Amino acid sequence: MLQDPLTLRSGVVLPNRVALAAMTNGQSQADGLLGDDELNWLESRAIGGYGLIATCAAYVARDGKAWDGELGVDRDECLPGLTRLATVIRKHGSVGMVQLFHGGVRATQRLSGEPVWSASMWQEDTKDFETPRVATEADILRTIESFAAAAERCEKAGFQGVELHGAHGYLITQFLSPVTNTRTDDWGGDNAGRARFAREIMRAVKKRTSTKFSVGIRLSLEHGGHAKGLDLDESLQVASWLAEDGADFIHASLWRAENMTRKRPTEHPIPLVRAALPKDVALIVAGNIWTYEDAQLAMERGADVVALARPAIPNPEWPKLAKPGFKPNTLPKTPAELAAVGISPTFLGYLRSFKNVVAE
Ligand SMILES: Cc1cc2nc3c(=O)[nH]c(=O)nc-3n(C[C@H](O)[C@H](O)[C@H](O)COP(=O)(O)O)c2cc1C
């Protein structure tokens, strides 16, 4: 049942099975310190009953910063803001987790002041693409340490966990994919070599945080969008390895949770991920889950928690209202309607880059 609590491996108890999925919103300050609009947005969804609140993707190191107004977790100066945010989320009974992020080639020199780097060098014929420099061993080790230090900071601030952003073609995916990782050293090659970066981050973060702190990872499973070249079976193996390394949860980012896998159109991805994981590792699933029935179906297929991103925008209280036959508010909405559900002008600006969200 959606309303049932869930105890994670760490002992952290989610009050229900509905999460707010990470959503970048540009509402932090130019230097990465927490902005009030960011706090108000997340607080409003904690009040609305979302049991798990993931923050926007937050950069663990300046050279991984990808967006204007992105939240930073890269230095101790961020602690007071992070503490305010963690305290507010907890006050309303939700479990707060920071999404730890490094953009790799999707970061930008405009914001970081440094040339972008990635697992390997490759070219892409897209607007704003910055050709990456190839990661040195020192870059890799420094970044693993940045993830660990950021997680430690989040725990200090009072968050109950972190979600590593291993999906959607950012740095961790850039290492996982054979298309963007053509290295011939121990950080590339076969699936085990390509997964090493993600696994070392998982292990370092687990080691640096207490056993009561939850650490999970968000993964894309198959080729799509910026997540280039991912293979379903390799991703299932990666999920299983990360569980071995101590992950409390795996978050499968599906975009359309109703769809069968691309590789084997007769098989649905949710039971496959579930089968790849030990029973005590929670499976979170996101993508186009709007109705109570959508959520139930995902859970019947094996999800422990459903995560909502766009549906959470016009439905601040979705978790409180969801029941059979519940008709959620839909998108697009006008700027005035979005303002009425807590979308600031800055967030509105970012939402305009998504189709079918803002009605002009
Ligand atoms: C405005 C916006 C910002 C997003 N930012 C992030 C992000 O920071 N990290 C992430 O993992 N996914 C991000 N996503 C993807 C969502 O978390 C989610 O996986 C995707 O939108 C599909 O779920 P939905 O159909 O519930 O929106 C973003 C999506 C939207 C619409």
- 3 state SS for 46-98: HHCCCCEEEEEEEECCHHHCCCCCCCECCCHHHHHHHHHHHHHHHHCCCEEEE
- Share above pLDDT 70 across residues of the chain, in percent, rounded to a whole number: 100
3-class DSSP string for 302-348:
CCCEEEECHHHCCCCCHHHHCCCCCCCCCCCECHHHHHHCCCCHHHH
Q: Is 273 part of any domain?
A: yes
pLDDT, tens digit (0-9, with 9 covering 90-100), for 297-309: 999 999 999 999 9
275 within 8 A of 250, measured Cβ to Cβ: no
pLDDT of res. 225: 86
pLDDT of res. 125: 87
| Ligand 1 within 6 A of CB of 254 | no
Q: Which of 25, 310, 315, 356 to mutate to test the pocket of ligand 1 (most atoms within 8 A of CB)?
A: 310
124 vs 98, which has greater pLDDT?
Answer: 98
Measured over the CA atoms of residue 101, residue 345, residue 307 and residue 264, the dihedral's sign is negative
284 within 8 A of 304, measured Cβ to Cβ: yes
Q: How far apart are CA 351 and CA 337, in angstroms?
A: 13
Q: How far apart are CA 323 and CA 251, in angstroms?
A: 23
Q: Is 99 part of any domain?
A: yes
Q: Is 35 part of any domain?
A: yes
pLDDT, tens digit (0-9, with 9 covering 90-100), for 220-237: 999 988 888 999 999 999
DSSP, collapsed to helix, strand or coil, labels residue 218 as strand
pLDDT, tens digit (0-9, with 9 covering 90-100), for 263-293: 999 999 999 999 999 999 999 999 999 999 9
Fill in the DSSP letter of residue 260. Answer: P
Number of structural domains in the chain: 1
pLDDT, tens digit (0-9, with 9 covering 90-100), for 46-73: 999 999 999 999 999 999 999 999 999 9
Question: Whose Cα sits closest to atom 16 in ligand 1?
Answer: 309
Residue 310 Cα: closest atom of ligand 1 = 27
| Ligand 1 within 6 A of CB of 154 | no
Fill in the DSSP letter of residue 119. Answer: S
What is the signed CA dihedral for 10, 15, 18, 23, rounded to 10 degrees?
Answer: -70
Long-range contacts of 202-205 (CB under 8 A, 24+ apart): 202/164, 202/242, 202/245, 202/246, 202/247, 203/245, 203/246, 204/144, 204/145, 204/147, 204/148, 205/100, 205/147, 205/148, 205/151, 205/162, 205/164
198 within 8 A of 192, measured Cβ to Cβ: no
Residue whose entry in the numeric block shows the structure tokens 């990666």: 238
Fill in the DSSP letter of residue 217. Answer: E
pLDDT of res. 250: 98
Q: Is 359 part of any domain?
A: no
Q: Is 336 part of any domain?
A: no
**Chain length of the chain:** 360
DSSP letters, 1-45, are -TTS-EE-TTS-EESSSEEEPP-----S-TTSPPPHHHHHHHHHH
pLDDT of res. 360: 87
Q: What is the mean pLDDT of residues 239-253?
A: 98
CA of 275 to the centre of ligand 1 (A): 25
Residue 128 has pLDDT above 90, yes or no: no
pLDDT, tens digit (0-9, with 9 covering 90-100), for 136-150: 999 999 999 999 999
Q: Is 200 part of any domain?
A: yes
| Ligand 1 within 6 A of CB of 99 | yes
pTM for the whole structure: 0.98
The CA distances from residue 272 to 216, 261, 269, 275, in Å, are: 18, 10, 5, 5
Q: Is 357 part of any domain?
A: no
CA of 308 to the centre of ligand 1 (A): 8
Question: Whose Cα sits closest to atom 13 in ligand 1?
Answer: 23
CATH of the domain at 283: 3.20.20.70
| Ligand 1 within 6 A of CB of 54 | no
Q: Which of 20, 24, 59 to mutate to test the pocket of ligand 1 (most atoms within 8 A of CB)?
A: 24
Residue 29 has pLDDT above 90, yes or no: yes
| Ligand 1 within 6 A of CB of 255 | yes
CA of 257 to the centre of ligand 1 (A): 13
Q: Is 180 part of any domain?
A: yes
Q: Domain range holding 209?
A: 6-329
